[in-house]
């Protein structure tokens, strides 16, 4: 009797488990709510942790006691002092020791957008992501402290590039460059306004006082950008070109800045600004690049949310503009124009192509989120593209970046068994202060730069420029196009990795 009873209980239990598996009572079903395969080939959580940690390696200024990338030390402590202003802090954009305000502001906007969309999924990494945003915004507040002036660069790039030295040893001129009413820079000003506005949303709950400071400053900086129109590439040409010349003009930044201020303030004046100026500012342009210079696609996706999720009817066109962007990426779709390498990587440019990959994948998972919320799809000339398809394309790109590629190499330093050893980065390639406390002179470092030895300091989480259009990657330190990391390559990846880690139940 006891045996048959236990058999009956076992049968009932197994039937009940089968029932659970086939109903919404399945407790694991919600984890995979976006129909990804149940097995992830990558540890997205580990990649997320590292992608955020990278920003500590790029810090300028006085490092805090909780600094985790320990081979870095304080640097640039007198930045701004020649003009009696405090410009200490912020980030070095890439492998050199210059603080370029234009890409720094874009990095800040994208880190903030990553937190706004996916911060709720980041768990223990959320404080680290917010800290990375704040390291930038504290600096941007200093750079915009005086009305109608923005300090947009610290360091003479040509002189800096003539040396290969650690930021801690810097002895090149820390010249300061600014835009103002007489020498305007609408793109760098509007991007800075976007960064401050987006960051205000990041801190709205956790630090409302700081959030208010950020949004007030964003309003003031945007007014300056819009009132004194002109390109900073004209005003500061010898200093910002060819490094971060603005090729797309400043119209895209004005639209992008207004979109972020509309989101941060809910002031109807910004919606009105977008409705009146959208077309003039190039909202409908069929330009499908998104990066530190060109914000058109980002603005379209951001504004499409207002239509799709918040039901702002007047922004209906932005859904169409966003769909055009998506259709340009889908292989086989009517208006597909995107190029892919034989190994499957989106390929747009020979110089730091990975920045285009990371920014595009972020837009794909974010737009998929908006489409899902509004139960909508994309129509590409007869081909229906679902949010799931956008997520699959984004995942494929991230998987390539993390090692699913012909070279079986991760393009994120410190992730996976095989990654770039000779990145184009001064601090990473030269012995650290702990190992070599004596000063390394300006040109003494070039011996290391030109050598084949691996970098002694691992810049964990750094994503390099990536392979060429034939999936080749020489791993040469002198090859800055492929081997240099940059803050604006990592910033959008943070959001995508948070989404992937969550959807595979790793967070």
Report the C-alpha gap between 194 and 259 in whole angstroms: 8
Q: Is 340 helix (H, G, I), strand (E, B) or coil?
A: strand
Say whether 168 is catalytic.
Answer: no
Query: Which residue in the list 207, 285, 399, 475 is annotated as catalytic?
Result: 475
Report the C-alpha gap between 457 and 384 in whole angstroms: 48
Asked if the model's pLDDT at residue 21 lies above 80, the reply is no
Asked if the model's pLDDT at residue 403 lies above 70, the reply is yes
What is the pTM assigned to this prediction?
0.92
**CA gyration radius for the chain?**
24
Query: Which residue in the list 96, 191, 226, 404 is annotated as catalytic?
Result: 96
Chain segment 221-230, per-residue pLDDT in tens: 999 999 999 9
Looking at the chain, the whole-number percentage of residues with pLDDT higher than 90 is 87
**pLDDT at residue 457, rounded to an integer:** 98
277, two tokens: 């100026």
| Residues in CB range of 387: below 8 A, 6 or more apart | 34, 367, 368, 369, 371, 372, 377
Residue 38's pLDDT band, with cuts at 50, 70 and 90, is low
Asked if the model's pLDDT at residue 32 lies above 60, the reply is no
Mean pLDDT rounded to a whole number for the chain: 92
Please state the φ and ψ torsions of residue 40, each to the nearest 5 degrees: -95, 135
Asked if the model's pLDDT at residue 132 lies above 70, the reply is yes
Query: Which residue in the list 125, 471, 484, 502 is annotated as catalytic?
Result: 484
* Length of the chain as a residue count: 507
Across 113-123, average pLDDT: 98
Query: Which residue in the list 424, 425, 471, 502 is annotated as catalytic?
Result: 424
Across 333-349, average pLDDT: 91
Across 138-156, average pLDDT: 98
Chain segment 53-71, per-residue pLDDT in tens: 999 999 999 999 999 999 9
Say whether 475 is catalytic.
Answer: yes
Q: Which residue has the higher pLDDT, 224 or 382?
A: 224
Chain segment 161-184, per-residue pLDDT in tens: 999 999 999 999 999 999 999 999
Chain segment 282-313, per-residue pLDDT in tens: 887 778 899 999 999 999 999 999 999 999 99
Residue 16's pLDDT band, with cuts at 50, 70 and 90, is very low
Say whether 96 is catalytic.
Answer: yes
346, two tokens: 């989106």
Say whether 86 is catalytic.
Answer: no
């Amino acid at each position: 009797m006891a045996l048959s009873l236990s058999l009956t209980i076992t049968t009932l239990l197994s039937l009940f488990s089968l029932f659970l598996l086939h109903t919404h009572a399945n407790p694991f079903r919600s984890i995979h709510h976006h129909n990804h395969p149940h097995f992830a080939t990558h540890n997205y959580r580990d990649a997320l942790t590292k992608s955020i940690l990278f920003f500590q390696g790029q810090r300028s200024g006085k490092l805090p006691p909780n600094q985790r990338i320990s081979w870095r030390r304080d640097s640039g402590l007198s930045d701004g002092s020649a003009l009696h202003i405090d410009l200490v802090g912020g980030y070095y954009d890439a492998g050199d020791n210059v603080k370029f305000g234009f890409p720094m502001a874009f990095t800040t906007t994208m880190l903030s957008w990553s937190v706004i969309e996916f911060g709720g999924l980041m768990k223990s990494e959320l404080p680290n992501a917010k800290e990375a945003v704040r390291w930038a915004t504290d600096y941007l507040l200093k750079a915009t402290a005086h009305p109608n002036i923005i300090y947009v660069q610290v360091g003479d790039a040509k002189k800096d590039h003539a040396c290969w030295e650690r930021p801690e040893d810097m002895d090149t001129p820390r010249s300061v460059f600014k835009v103002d009413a007489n020498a305007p820079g609408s793109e760098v000003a509007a991007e800075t306004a976007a960064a401050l506005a987006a960051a205000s949303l990041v801190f709205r709950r956790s630090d409302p006082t700081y959030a208010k400071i950020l949004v007030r400053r964003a309003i003031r900086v945007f007014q300056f950008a819009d009132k004194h129109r002109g390109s900073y590439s004209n005003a500061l040409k010898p200093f910002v070109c060819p490094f971060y010349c603005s090729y797309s003009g400043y119209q895209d930044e004005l639209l992008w800045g207004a979109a972020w201020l509309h989101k941060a303030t809910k002031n109807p004046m910004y919606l009105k600004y977008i409705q009146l100026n959208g077309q003039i500012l190039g909202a409908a342009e069929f330009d499908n690049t998104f990066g530190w210079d060109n914000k058109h696609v980002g603005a379209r996706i951001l504004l499409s949310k207002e239509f799709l999720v918040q039901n702002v009817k007047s922004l209906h066109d932005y859904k169409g503009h966003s769909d055009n962007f998506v259709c340009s990426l889908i292989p086989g779709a009517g208006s597909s124009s995107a190029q892919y390498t034989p190994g499957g990587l989106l390929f747009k440019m020979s110089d730091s192509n990975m920045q285009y990959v990371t920014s595009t994948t972020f837009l794909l998972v974010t737009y998929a989120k908006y489409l899902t919320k509004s139960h909508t799809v994309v129509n590409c000339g007869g081909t229906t593209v679902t949010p799931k398809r956008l997520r699959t394309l984004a995942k494929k790109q991230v998987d390539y970046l993390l090692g699913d590629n012909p070279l079986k190499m991760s393009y994120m330093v410190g992730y996976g068994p095989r990654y770039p050893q000779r990145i184009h980065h001064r601090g990473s390639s030269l012995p650290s202060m702990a190992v070599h406390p004596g000063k390394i002179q300006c040109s003494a470092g070039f011996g290391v730069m030109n050598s084949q030895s691996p970098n002694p300091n691992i810049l964990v989480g750094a994503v390099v420029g990536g392979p060429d259009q034939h999936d080749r990657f020489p791993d040469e330190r002198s090859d800055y196009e492929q081997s240099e990391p940059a803050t604006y390559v990592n910033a959008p990846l943070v959001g995508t990795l948070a989404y992937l880690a969550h959807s595979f139940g790793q967070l």
